[in-house]
Amino acid sequence: AIQLTQSPSSLSASIGDTVSITCRASQGISNALAWYQQRPGKPPKLLITDASSLEAGIPLRFSGSGSGTDFTLTINGLQPEDLAVYSCQQYHIMALTFGGGTKVEI
């Protein structure tokens, strides 16, 4: 199975900051990577697919980049509602796997 390693596991930032979260795959996955946001007590919400394609209705302050083994989720101008755990997920191989998550605290 492809392992996804996220860093950092948690971070604390202020409103308006730019925050970056990385996701490293144990082998190349092309751009078959999604990012999810999970607010406390809620199910995950799909933010980005194909490493950099923003889902409809997701604020433009969210962006994704990368291909192969290294990926980044960036939040430009952190907002209070961005308090959440962010997880990456690969779908290059149909033994889908998720990263361990990054908790973003405001």
Q: How far is the CB of 86 from other proteins (least distance, A)?
A: 11
- To the nearest whole angstrom, how small is the minimum distance from the Cβ of residue 48 to other proteins? 9
Which residue lies nearer to other proteins by CB, 49 or 69?
49
Binding site for other proteins (CB under 8 A): 1, 32, 34, 36, 43-46, 49, 55, 87, 89-91, 94-101
Nearest distance from residue 58's CB to other proteins, in Å? 12
Tokens representing 54? 């923003």
- For 75, phi then psi, to 5°, come to -115, 115
Nearer to other proteins, 49 or 67 (CB): 49
Beta strand ranges found along 14-83 (DSSP E): 18-25, 33-38, 45-49, 53-54, 62-67, 70-76
- Cβ atoms of 9 and 103 within 8 Å: the answer is yes
